[in-house]
Chain A
Amino acid sequence: MAWQNNLLRVNLSTGSCNSEALNRDWAQAYLGQRGLGSKYLVEEVDPTVDPLSPENKLIIATGPLTATTAPTGGRSSAVTKGALTGAIAASNTGGMFGAELKMAGYDLLIIEGRAEQPVYLWIRDDQVEIRPADRLWGQSVWETEPWLRRELQEPQAKIASIGRAGEVGIKFACIVNDMDRAYGRSGVGAVMGSKHLKAIAVRGTRGVRVADPQAFRDAVRTTMAVLQPSPVRQRFTSRGTHNMMDVTNQFGSLPTRNCRDVQFEGVEAINADAVRVPRRSDGKPSLQGNKACFACTIGCGRVATIDPTSPLANGEDPQGGDRGRYKLPSGGLEYETAFAFGPMCGIDDLDAINYVNFLCNEQSMDPISLGVSIAAAMELFAEGAITLTDTDGLELSFGNAEALVRAAELTAFGEGIGADIGLGAARLCDKYGRPELSMTVKGQEFPGYDPRALKGMALAYATSNRGCCHMRARPLLHDFANVTTEGKAELVKSTQDLAGAIDSSGICMFTNVMFPAEHLAQMLDAACEGDWDLERMQNTGERIWNLERQFNLAAGFTRADDCLPERTTREPARGGAADGQVADITQMLTEYYSLRGWDQEGVPLRETLARLEL
C-alpha cells in the first residue's frame, strides 16, 4: 500500500522495457524517492563508473505519498551518479510528472544503457514504448512538450525532457518537467542526454491505494489544519522563496560577485518587491501570479513575464528563432535563481535575470550552477585569466547584463566561451589556472547563502553528499539567530537525517517549516504498511545519509572533499552580522564525524553500519 510495488526497467541499449516487483524490504528501509532510488543505484551501479557512460543508470523515483492527497504529495527524484560532481545525485522536483508516473503504476523508473539514436519514452500505464526522437533532438523543452502531446494525441500526458544543454553535455544540465519545474542539480540532465533519451512522456490512469484510508484522511485533515493557517505558509504563497533576498542581504549572507561580497547594493531592483512594480511600458508587473505543484496548497511557484518592449522579447534569437515567445508568462524567479543571476553576477537588471531564468527552463540548465559558473567566469575575466580573445570580444564583467545574457545563451548551446562555462565553475577555474575562484563543494556550485555568516550552513555545504547544497540540512533559522558554531554540528546532523526522510516520502521539503514532522509521520503511518513514527523517520534518514556516503567513498571522495572554497575560509566577510569573519568548519567537522559514528577520515564505523543495517 502507498507503494505501487512495481518498477519499470528500460534498457535503451537493448530496447527492452519490463516491469518488475519492487523490493519491499528496501521500500520499508528507504521509503522512496531519494532513499529508495539511492538503494537501487548503490546495488546496481559501480561507484567508479563514468557518469556519462552507458553503465551509469538514471532512476526516477516516487515516494509512498506521491500522488496521494497528502499536502504537496507530488514529489519525485532523479537519482544517478552526477555528471557535475561524480558523487551520488538525487534531484527533487515538483510539478505533475512524478504523480503521473506513480499513477501509471510505477514507484521507480530505472533507465539503463544508451540508445544508438535519440529516443523518447512513452508510458501509458502498462504500455511502454521506446520511440525515435530524431524529430525532437535539437528542440527545446518548450518545443518538445507541446509537440509530444500533439504527436501522442494525449493532452493529459506529463513530460520530463531535456533541452539543448542536456543534449550537448553541459555538466549542470537538468531535466525539466511540466515546462518549468526541474530535477535541478548535479547534472542529471547531462546523464539523460548521454543516454540519447530526449524525453519521457507518461499518462497514468491508475489510483494509489493507502493502507488505512480513514486514518490517512484524518492525518491529512489534521495536517491541513496546521498547514493552511501557518504564517510561513502564507508568506510562501504571497511572496515565494524570493522573499529571502532582503533578509540574506541585510544579514550579510547574500553571495555577491562570486562571493567577493556578502551584500549587494542593487538588491532593491531585483527583490520580491521589485517584481511587483508595474512597468512603464505596459503598466504590468513582472510577477503575474503564482502556481502550485500536484496536491500543493502552498503555491510558492511564480509566474512572470519580461517587459514586452525589451530587446530580449523582440526580434530574432541567436538561433534565428522568434523572441516573441519570451513575452508569454512562464516560470518566475525563485530566490536561488534571483541570487545566482543577480547579486552573484553583480546584475540588477530584472528583465535580464528573468530572461536567463526562462532560458534555463527552455534549454534545461540548473540556474544555480549556471549563475555561479558565469560569476566565476566574470571573476576570471576581471583577473585577466579569461581574455577578450577567449570570449570572442564579450566584455564578461560583473554587472554587465548583456554579458550575462550572451554567456547564458552560449552555454545553453555549448558554444564559444559557453562550452567552458558549461563545464561548471570548478572545471572552468581549473582550466584557466585559478581553481581558488570556484565557489563549489565537491564540484557543485554554491546556493544563495554565504557560509561565513551562516555557520551551520557552512557545515551543511561541506558535508552534503551531492555537493554544495542548501536543502540537505535545515540549519538556516538557527544560523540567523546565532552567529556561532556552537551546537551546529548536532543541528546539521539531525536535520540532514530528517531531510533524508522527507526527501524520500513524496512530499515537499518546504513543509517542514509549516507543520511539525510528526504530521508527516502520521500520514506515512496511515498510508504505508509498518509502524512509522518520527524516530523511525530519523533512523531512515540516517540510513540514507550513510548509504550515500558509502557510495561517495567508493567513488573516491575523502575527508578532504568535505571542505569549503578557500575564499570563504580566508577572506573575511565585509559587512553584515559576520563582518570580519571567515568560515571555519574544522572543529564542527570533527564533532560532526563523531556524532555520525564515523572515524576522523569520515568513514562510517562498522558498528554504525551495523546499527543502521547497512
Chain B
Amino acid sequence: MTIEIKLFGFGDDQPARFNGKNSLLIEVETPASPHNLLQAAGIEDTTGLILMDADQVIPLEQWNELRIQDQTTLTIMSAFEGG
C-alpha cells in the first residue's frame, strides 16, 4: 500500500530519496515493520530518530514488529539534545 513518510528536523540531511522535500510516498507490502519503511525510504542511520504513527510514538523495541497495516503516514523526527 502507499504510505506517506514525513520528515521533521532533518534540515539539510534529508535522505537523497526525498529530493529536498519533507515527505515521500512509498509503496510497501503490508504488514510491514517501521524498520522496513525506514529502509524503503533510504534512511540507514537511525541515530536520534523518533518514529510516530499518527500521534503515537513507536517505541524502539517495536521497530522490527510488523505493525504497519493500514496506516497511511509515518512521521520521522530527527532530534538531538538541543539548547
Residues of A within 8 A of B (CB): 231-232, 234-236, 238-239, 241, 243-244, 246-247, 249-252, 272, 300, 334-336, 470-471, 474, 476-477, 480-483, 509-510, 512-513, 575-577, 579
Q: How far is the CA of A336 from the CA of B47 in the complex (A)?
A: 23
List 9 contacting pairs A-B, 8 Å CB cutoff, sorted by A.
A236-B80, A244-B9, A246-B9, A246-B77, A247-B78, A251-B52, A300-B83, A509-B83, A576-B55
Q: By the criterion CB–CB under 8 Å, are B83 and A336 in contact? A: yes
* A residues less than 8 Å from B9 (CB atoms): 243-244, 246-247, 250
Nearest CB of B to A569, in Å: 21
Q: By the criterion CB–CB under 8 Å, are A243 and B59 in contact? A: no
Q: By the criterion CB–CB under 8 Å, are B79 and A247 in contact? A: yes
* B residues less than 8 Å from A513 (CB atoms): 80-81
- The 5 A-B pairs at the shortest CB distance, nearest first, are namely A244-B82, A241-B83, A247-B9, A239-B11, A246-B8
Contacts A236-B80, A239-B12, A246-B9 known; 5 new A-B pairs at CB < 8 A: A231-B48, A235-B11, A243-B80, A249-B8, A480-B57
Q: How far is the CA of A324 from the CA of B81 in the complex (A)?
A: 37
* B residues less than 8 Å from A250 (CB atoms): 8-9, 52, 75, 77
Q: By the criterion CB–CB under 8 Å, are B83 and A247 in contact? A: no
Closest to B77 in A: A247
* A residues less than 8 Å from B19 (CB atoms): none
* B residues less than 8 Å from A510 (CB atoms): 81, 83
Q: By the criterion CB–CB under 8 Å, are B57 and A477 in contact? A: no
* A residues less than 8 Å from B81 (CB atoms): 474, 476-477, 510, 512-513
Q: How far is the CA of A313 from the CA of B71 in the complex (A)?
A: 49
* B residues less than 8 Å from A249 (CB atoms): 8
Q: Which of A232, A483, A576 has the most CB of B within 10 A?
A: A232
Closest to A580 in B: B55
Q: By the criterion CB–CB under 8 Å, are B55 and A579 in contact? A: yes
Q: By the criterion CB–CB under 8 Å, are A480 and B77 in contact? A: yes
Within 8 A of A (CB), among B37-81: 45, 47-48, 50, 52, 55-57, 59-60, 75, 77-81
Q: By the criterion CB–CB under 8 Å, are B55 and A235 in contact? A: no
* A residues less than 8 Å from B60 (CB atoms): 481
Q: By the criterion CB–CB under 8 Å, are B82 and A480 in contact? A: no
Q: By the criterion CB–CB under 8 Å, are A272 and B11 in contact? A: yes
Closest to A249 in B: B8
Q: By the criterion CB–CB under 8 Å, are A231 and B55 in contact? A: no
* B residues less than 8 Å from A243 (CB atoms): 9, 11, 80, 82
Q: By the criterion CB–CB under 8 Å, are A232 and B80 in contact? A: yes
Nearest CB of A to B75, in Å: 6
Q: By the criterion CB–CB under 8 Å, are B50 and A481 in contact? A: yes
Choice from B75, B77, B80, B83 contacting A235 with Cβ under 8 Å? B80
* B residues less than 8 Å from A482 (CB atoms): 57, 59
Closest to B81 in A: A513
Q: By the criterion CB–CB under 8 Å, are B45 and A244 in contact? A: no
Choice from A238, A241, A480, A576 contacting B50 with Cβ under 8 Å? A480
Choice from A231, A239, A575 contacting B45 with Cβ under 8 Å? A231
Q: How far is the CA of A579 from the CA of B45 in the complex (A)?
A: 29
Q: By the criterion CB–CB under 8 Å, are A232 and B13 in contact? A: no
Nearest CB of B to A444, in Å: 16
Q: How far is the CA of A576 from the CA of B54 in the complex (A)?
A: 9
Q: How far is the CA of A476 from the CA of B82 in the complex (A)?
A: 8
Nearest CB of B to A152, in Å: 32
Q: By the criterion CB–CB under 8 Å, are B47 and A575 in contact? A: no
Choice from A234, A334, A577 contacting B83 with Cβ under 8 Å? A334
* B residues less than 8 Å from A470 (CB atoms): 83
Closest to A236 in B: B80
Q: By the criterion CB–CB under 8 Å, are A577 and B11 in contact? A: no
Choice from A471, A476, A579 contacting B79 with Cβ under 8 Å? A476
Q: By the criterion CB–CB under 8 Å, are B82 and A241 in contact? A: yes
Q: By the criterion CB–CB under 8 Å, are B56 and A577 in contact? A: yes
Nearest CB of A to B80, in Å: 5
* B residues less than 8 Å from A238 (CB atoms): 11-13
Nearest CB of B to A162, in Å: 23
Contact (A244, B79) CB under 8 Å given A481-B50, A577-B55: yes
* A residues less than 8 Å from B13 (CB atoms): 231, 234-235, 238
Q: By the criterion CB–CB under 8 Å, are A235 and B57 in contact? A: no
Q: Which of A250, A272, A470, A579 has the most CB of B within 10 A?
A: A250
Q: How far is the CA of A105 from the CA of B59 in the complex (A)?
A: 51
Q: How far is the CA of A300 from the CA of B81 in the complex (A)?
A: 13
Contact (A251, B50) CB under 8 Å given A244-B9, A246-B9, A576-B55: yes
Closest to B75 in A: A250
* A residues less than 8 Å from B78 (CB atoms): 235, 247
Q: Which of B9, B75, B83 has the most CB of A within 10 A?
A: B83
* B residues less than 8 Å from A509 (CB atoms): 83
Nearest CB of A to B64, in Å: 15
* A residues less than 8 Å from B56 (CB atoms): 577
* B residues less than 8 Å from A576 (CB atoms): 55
Q: How far is the CA of A474 from the CA of B82 in the complex (A)?
A: 9
Q: How far is the CA of A246 from the CA of B10 in the complex (A)?
A: 9
Q: How far is the CA of A577 from the CA of B78 in the complex (A)?
A: 15
Q: By the criterion CB–CB under 8 Å, are A477 and B80 in contact? A: yes
Q: How far is the CA of A426 from the CA of B60 in the complex (A)?
A: 39
Q: How far is the CA of A513 from the CA of B48 in the complex (A)?
A: 10
Nearest CB of B to A290, in Å: 13
Q: How far is the CA of A239 from the CA of B52 in the complex (A)?
A: 23
Nearest CB of A to B59, in Å: 7
Nearest CB of A to B76, in Å: 10
Nearest CB of B to A83, in Å: 23
Q: By the criterion CB–CB under 8 Å, are B55 and A575 in contact? A: yes
Q: How far is the CA of A300 from the CA of B80 in the complex (A)?
A: 13
* A residues less than 8 Å from B82 (CB atoms): 241, 243-244, 335, 476
Q: By the criterion CB–CB under 8 Å, are A247 and B57 in contact? A: no
Q: Which of A231, A238, A251, A483 has the most CB of B within 10 A?
A: A251
Contact (A247, B45) CB under 8 Å given A481-B50, A481-B59, A482-B57: no
* B residues less than 8 Å from A231 (CB atoms): 13, 45, 47-48
* B residues less than 8 Å from A244 (CB atoms): 9, 79-80, 82
Contact (A577, B52) CB under 8 Å given A232-B80, A238-B12, A241-B82: yes
* B residues less than 8 Å from A336 (CB atoms): 83
